[in-house]
């Protein structure tokens, strides 16, 4: 079994995001970038499956600017065997990403494609489902547990009502929830080893996909601020305010 894992480079989740003064986007200069958190879960799961002997190769792929190579390199440092970087500048919407990934799937012929359920920058939650539509493969989104049984996967999905279990045949797409596993840290020797692992670079334009945005971003603004509240001195005052001022109890 071969597993392809898609990873995205995003602003680190601990960074307080700031909107640019000209309202064209958010500040990304001199801001710490990291792997999209649920993509770390996707890599971890693929590596665990390989370690259990059920997969033979884990390939990490990213779409983005030259620096996205760091994100691929990090996947190699936690156990992926080799990497692919599809180079593209500017905003690449999930539809275009899924078309680019489709080209890689056709070339690499993986049995499984893993990725995070959602990127924490654009919060779209689309790429995995779009890729499975383009390939006409089954999709297991928001996975919190994966069991491999021969050529089938039993996947537990996090849904609003609780948990849902589905069985899908490979080849298939799985999008990973944060609760799927606990991603490991890369050890120093493995970071050194990862530097020797190959990363193939492909230009998005060479894959014959039109990646120009279909959605025009008109402006990006700060969300409306809440008015500053007050501190109460005692529980009795709190209850009195909630009852007589806010009238919510």
Partner 1 sequence: MSVLLIAEHNNKELKPFTLNAVTAASQMNTDLHAIIIGHNCADAAKKLSELPLVKKVIQVEAAHYENFVAENFAPVIVKLAENYSHVVCSANTFGKNLMPRIAASLDTSQVSDIIKVISADTFLRPIYAGNAFATVKSKDPKKCITIRPTSFDPCESSGGSAPIEKAEPSEEFNNTKFVKREEIKSDRPELGTARVVVSGGRGMQSGDNFKLITSVADKLNAAIGASRAAVDAGYISNDHQVGQTGKVVVPDLYIAIGISGAIQHLAGMKESKVIVAINKDGEAPIFSVADYGLEADLFEAVPQFIEELNKLNTIQK
Stretch that binds partner 1, among 47-55, 61-69, 197-205, 211-219 (CB under 8 A): 211-219
Interface of this chain with partner 1, residues 66 to 105, rule: CB under 8 A:
93-96, 98
Q: Are 142 and 246 in contact (CB under 8 A)?
A: no
Residue with smaller CB distance to partner 1, 46 or 101: 101
Q: Are 168 and 157 in contact (CB under 8 A)?
A: no
Alpha carbon distance 221, 59 (integer Å): 38
Stretch that binds partner 1, among 43-51, 68-76, 78-86, 126-134 (CB under 8 A): 126-134
Stretch that binds partner 1, among 61-69, 104-112, 161-169, 199-207 (CB under 8 A): 161-169
Stretch that binds partner 1, among 44-52, 62-70, 133-141, 186-194 (CB under 8 A): 133-141
32 binds partner 1 (CB under 8 A): no
Instruction: Give every CB contact of residue 163 below 8 A, 6+ residues apart in sequence.
Output: 144, 156, 157
203 binds partner 1 (CB under 8 A): no
Looking at 51, 54, 201, 238, which residue binds partner 1 (CB under 8 A)?
Answer: 238
Alpha-carbon distances of 106 from 99, 110, 157, rounded to whole Å: 11, 8, 27
Residue 26 tokens, joined: 């958010």
Residue with smaller CB distance to partner 1, 13 or 193: 13
Residue with smaller CB distance to partner 1, 77 or 92: 92
- Residues paired with residue 176 on neighbouring β-strands, in sequence order: 116, 143
CB of 110 to partner 1, least distance (A): 16
Question: What is the end-to-end Cα distance of the chain in Å, rounded?
Answer: 58
Instruction: Give every CB contact of residue 57 below 8 A, 6+ residues apart in sequence.
Output: 2, 3, 50, 81, 82
229 binds partner 1 (CB under 8 A): yes
Looking at 108, 138, 148, 197, which residue binds partner 1 (CB under 8 A)?
Answer: 138
């Amino acid at each position: 079994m071969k597993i392809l894992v898609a990873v995205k480079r995003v602003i680190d989740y601990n960074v307080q995001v700031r909107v640019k003064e000209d309202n064209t986007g958010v500040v990304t200069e001199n801001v710490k970038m990291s792997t999209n958190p649920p993509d770390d879960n996707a890599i971890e799961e693929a590596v665990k499956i390989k370690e259990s002997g059920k997969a033979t190769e884990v390939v990490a792929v990213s779409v983005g600017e030259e620096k996205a190579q760091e994100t691929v390199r990090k996947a190699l440092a936690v156990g992926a065997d080799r990497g692919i970087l599809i180079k593209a500048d500017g905003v690449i919407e999930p539809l275009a990403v899924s078309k680019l990934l489709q080209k890689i799937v056709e070339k690499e012929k993986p049995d499984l494609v893993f990725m995070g359920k959602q990127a924490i920058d654009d919060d779209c939650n689309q790429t995995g489902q779009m890729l499975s539509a383009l390939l006409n493969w089954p999709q297991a989104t928001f996975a919190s547990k994966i069991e491999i049984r021969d050529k089938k996967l039993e996947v537990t999905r996090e849904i609003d009502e609780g948990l849902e279990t589905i069985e899908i045949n490979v080849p298939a797409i799985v999008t990973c929830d944060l609760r799927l596993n606990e991603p490991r840290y890369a050890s120093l020797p493995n970071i050194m080893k990862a530097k020797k692992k190959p990363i193939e670079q492909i230009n998005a334009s060479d894959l014959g996909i039109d990646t120009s945005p279909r959605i025009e971003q008109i402006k990006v603004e700060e969300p409306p601020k809440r008015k500053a509240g007050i501190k109460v001195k005692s529980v009795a005052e709190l209850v009195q305010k909630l009852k007589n001022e806010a009238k919510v109890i």
